[in-house]
Structure 1
C-alpha cells in the first residue's frame, strides 16, 4: 500500500515557523491571548506593518540538517513544515507571489528546499502544510471571524493558491502528504479542484482531512483533541507541546515527558498518529524545553518502539483500566503500565483476555526477568484471567511495557 509509511509510522514532527515567530506572540507591547501564529489577525496588524518583519527575518540558527537529524533521534518518521500559513508569507521561493522568504527577506532562503533535501538525506518522509483558504496578505483570501462577503475567492485561488500548490508539488521531489487547514467557505468543487491537482502532480501524496468537504484521505482531529475510543481507519492528531503552535515567548505551559508519553499511548492505542509540534524562535533556534521533552520520548522509543510502530487499533478492553494502555500487532499484544513503580511487587489483574500465551517479556528492560511475569489462570467463574506481576523495587520509569506473544493473530477477549 502506498501509504504504509503513514499507517505504520505513528509519529511525526510538525514545524510552525514564519514571520510570526519573530514577534513571539507580542506586538508593540501587546500580548496576544490567542495562538502566536495568528497574531496578525488577532491584534489587527496592518499588512504594511506586518510586511516590515521581512526586513529583519534572518534566522541563521535554523538548521534543516540538524532538525532532521534530531527528528530521527526523536523517533519521528515524517516532518510537516508550514510552507505558507494564514499570514500569506511563503517559506519557499515562489514565482507565483513575491511575498516569500527567498525574494522578500533579509535571509534570501528557501526553507522548504532545505528541509526537503535534509529529509531525503535522513530517510524521513517530507510533508508540507499549506493554508489553502485563509490568506491575510492577499485581499481575496479568507479571514477567520471577519466579514468575507465581499472577497473574490476565485481570484485568490487562481492568482496565488493554485499556482503555489503546484509549485510545492513540482519543485521539491516527493511530498508524502500535503496538510491543508481551515477550509472556511470553500465549496466542494473548489476543494475537489485542489485534490485533482495533488493527484495529477503527486499521485502518492496523502491529503489530510482539512482539505474540506470530506475529501481527505484520512481523518484529522481537532487540535490537541484525542478521540475517546478506537478508530479503525487512518487518523491523526495535530498537537502542541505548550499552548501555541508558533513560538510564544511568554508561553511556559509546557507538557512534561510523562504527559506527552501518556498522550502518545492514548493516541496509538486508539489507532492514530501523533503529529507533535515545535515552534522555532524568531532566530530559528528550537526552544530548549521542546528539545528536552522530545529527547526523553526519543529515548523511550529507542527501547520500546516495537510496541508503537506498525501497531493498529483493537477493541476497547472490556474493563476499566486507567493505568493500562494496549497496543497490538498480529500475534503480539503490548500492555503498557503507566506509573509502574506504584505497582511494584504487585499483580495487575487482566480478566477476560482469551488469547493463548506463547511467550512473554519486558520491552526495553534487559535488567528485568520475565520469569513468572504473567500468571495465566481462570476466575472462580471460569473466565480467562491473566495476572501481570510487576517486579519488586522497580525504578521510577515513565512506562513499563509487557510484550505478550499469542498463538492467535487477533486480540481476543470474552465480551461482557
Structure 2
C-alpha cells in the first residue's frame, strides 16, 4: 500500500513539474528580446585588495587564507541598494544581474548550507542579496542571479589548483552525519542543488546567469537535472548559455560578435578590463565607445549586459557611475530607436548599424561620425513618408536618385544631413515608410528600357 501511495505521489509530482515546464523557450524569452540593456554587478571580497575576482586564488597570486581574510574589510557600510536600483532604472536598464556567489564560494545571501557568506564571514555581517532583489523589483526591473557552478572553497569540489586549509573548509561547509555515505562529488552536487534551491525559494529569479561550467561535462554537473529543477521551481525562468548545452541564449564576452547569432543573445562587457572593483585598473572605455557598442549590439538583435564592480563599502566608483549616466542620457533621448525595435537590415543597404520598429515601418539609421553632406540608404522599395532626427523635431530633406521602378530597382535615398544634427555619441535618423519594409536584394542588371 505504501509503495502504491509513493508511486502515486511521484506520478502527481511528475505531472505537476511537466505542466509547469509547458512554456516554450520563445514564451519564456519574450521579455528578454526587448530588454536591450542589463546591468551586471560583480561584488565580493576581491574589491578589498583590488585583485582578480577568484582567479587571483586560482593562479596562486594570493593564498586561499589571505584571499579569505579580505572579508574582514568587506564592510558594505555605504551599501544603498535602493539608490543602485534607481540609478539603473534611470538609465533605461530592464534587468540587473548580480553575483550571488562567484568561484571563490562567498555567498552574498545568508545561506544555511555554508558559513562562507556575507553574514557569517564578512565585516558586513548581514545578508546583502535580499535588499538588492527587493530594490530591483521595487523599480520594476527583472532580477538576474549570477551563480557559479564551481566552488573553489568547497572541501568536496575538484579540480583545485591551489593549496587550502582543509580544516577551515570543513568548518565553513558543515555536513550532516549521513553525508559520509556519499562520494565527494555526490556531496558537492547535493550542496550545489541545495544552494540553488535556496536562491529560488528566497528570490524566484527571472534569469539565472551561470558561470564556471567549463570545469565539468554536462552530465557531471548534471546540467539537464539542474535545468529541469529550475523550471520546476519557476516555469518562467531563463538561463544563459553557461549551463553546458542547456542554456536559452548565447552569452559572448567582451567582444561584440561580427556575425548575428542565430538565437537570442547578450554581450557581457566590462567598463575597464576588470569585472570586480580594481582601483589600479584605469583603462576605462570611453562613454562614446560604450554607446557605440550598445548600438552595434541592439542592431544585431542582442542585449548589452554592462558590468560594474562596486567598492567593498558598497559605493559605485565615480568613473563607473559617470559612464552609466552618459549611456542613460543617450538612451533617454533616443528611446524610440532602442526599446520596441528589432534587428536591422543586412549590411549594404546602409553603411552603419540599423534597427527597425517592431512593425517594420520605420528604419533607424545610426551614425557614429559627424554627419557629412548626405547619408545614403539603398534598396528600399517603399515610398518614404518622412525622415527626421530622433530626439528632436527636425525633419530632413531627401531625394531618390538612380531609380528604375519598371525594372524593380528602387534607387538610392539621399538624405541631406546638416552638421547641426550631430549627437555627441551617435546620431539617429528615423526613416518612416509607407507600409512594411520591402528590400531589393538583387545583384543589379542593365536598364534596357528608359522611361
When normalised by structure 2's length, the TM-score is 0.82
SS of the residue 2:236 aligns to: coil
SS of the residue 1:5 aligns to: helix
Question: Aligned partners of 2:440, 2:212: CA distance in 1, in Å?
Answer: 41
1:388 aligned to 2:415?
yes
User: Counterparts in 2 of 1:131-150, with a 5 A limit?
Assistant: 131-132=148-149, 134-143=150-159
- Counterpart for residue 354 of structure 2: 326
1:20–1:392 distance in 2 versus 1, CA, 3 Å: closer
Of 178-187 and 65-74, the range deviating more from structure 2: 178-187
1:400 aligned to 2:427?
yes
Question: Equivalent of 1:233, from 263, 278, 285?
Answer: 263
Question: Aligned partners of 2:68, 2:286: CA distance in 1, in Å?
Answer: 36
Question: Aligned partners of 2:160, 2:251: CA distance in 1, in Å?
Answer: 19
TM superposition shift of 1:325 = 1.2
Higher helix share: 2
- Counterpart for residue 228 of structure 2: 196
Q: Which runs of 5+ in 2 are unaligned?
A: 1-26, 164-182, 444-451
TM superposition shift of 1:141 = 2.6
TM superposition shift of 1:303 = 1.0
Question: Aligned partners of 1:232, 1:355: CA distance in 2, in Å?
Answer: 27
Question: Aligned partners of 1:8, 1:281: CA distance in 2, in Å?
Answer: 31
1:357 aligned to 2:384?
yes
- Counterpart for residue 250 of structure 1: 280
The answer on whether the counterparts of 2:297 and 2:304 sit within 8 Å (CA) in structure 1 is: yes
1:328–1:232 distance in 2 versus 1, CA, 3 Å: farther
User: Counterparts in 2 of 1:201-280, with a 5 A limit?
Assistant: 201-212=233-244, 214-221=245-252, 223-280=253-310
Larger CA Rg, structure 1 vs 2:
2
Question: Aligned partners of 2:110, 2:104: CA distance in 1, in Å?
Answer: 16
Question: Aligned partners of 1:236, 1:392: CA distance in 2, in Å?
Answer: 33
TM superposition shift of 1:176 = 1.1
RMSD, aligned CA:
2.2
TM superposition shift of 1:339 = 1.7
The answer on whether the counterparts of 1:131 and 1:182 sit within 8 Å (CA) in structure 2 is: yes
1:277–1:357 distance in 2 versus 1, CA, 3 Å: same
- Counterpart for residue 35 of structure 2: 9
User: Counterparts in 2 of 1:19-168, with a 5 A limit?
Assistant: 19-25=45-51, 35-132=52-149, 134-143=150-159, 152-159=184-191, 161-168=192-199
- Counterpart for residue 400 of structure 2: 376
When normalised by structure 1's length, the TM-score is 0.88
TM superposition shift of 1:389 = 1.3
Question: Equivalent of 1:288, from 313, 318, 323?
Answer: 318
Q: Which runs of 5+ in 1 are unaligned?
A: 26-34
Question: Aligned partners of 1:62, 1:393: CA distance in 2, in Å?
Answer: 43
Of 264-273 and 310-319, the range deviating more from structure 2: 310-319
SS of the residue 2:34 aligns to: helix
The answer on whether the counterparts of 1:243 and 1:253 sit within 8 Å (CA) in structure 2 is: yes
SS of the residue 1:184 aligns to: helix
Question: Aligned partners of 1:292, 1:157: CA distance in 2, in Å?
Answer: 42
SS of the residue 1:137 aligns to: coil
Question: Equivalent of 2:335, from 305, 312, 318?
Answer: 305
- Counterpart for residue 24 of structure 2: none
1:397–1:197 distance in 2 versus 1, CA, 3 Å: same
1:201–1:126 distance in 2 versus 1, CA, 3 Å: same
Question: Aligned partners of 1:415, 1:9: CA distance in 2, in Å?
Answer: 34
* Corresponding residue pairs, total: 391
For residues 258-277 of structure 1, what are the alpha-carbon distances to aligned partners after superposition, in whole Å with 9 as ceiling and x for unaligned? 10011111111111110000
1:143–1:61 distance in 2 versus 1, CA, 3 Å: farther
Question: Aligned partners of 1:37, 1:389: CA distance in 2, in Å?
Answer: 53
Of 44-53 and 384-393, the range deviating more from structure 2: 44-53
For residues 288-310 of structure 1, what are the alpha-carbon distances to aligned partners after superposition, in whole Å with 9 as ceiling and x for unaligned? 11111111110011110111113
The answer on whether the counterparts of 2:73 and 2:312 sit within 8 Å (CA) in structure 1 is: no
Question: Aligned partners of 2:262, 2:388: CA distance in 1, in Å?
Answer: 27
For residues 198-234 of structure 1, what are the alpha-carbon distances to aligned partners after superposition, in whole Å with 9 as ceiling and x for unaligned? 011111110110011x21011111x112111223521
Question: Aligned partners of 1:308, 1:197: CA distance in 2, in Å?
Answer: 34
1:392–1:251 distance in 2 versus 1, CA, 3 Å: closer
1:69–1:144 distance in 2 versus 1, CA, 3 Å: farther
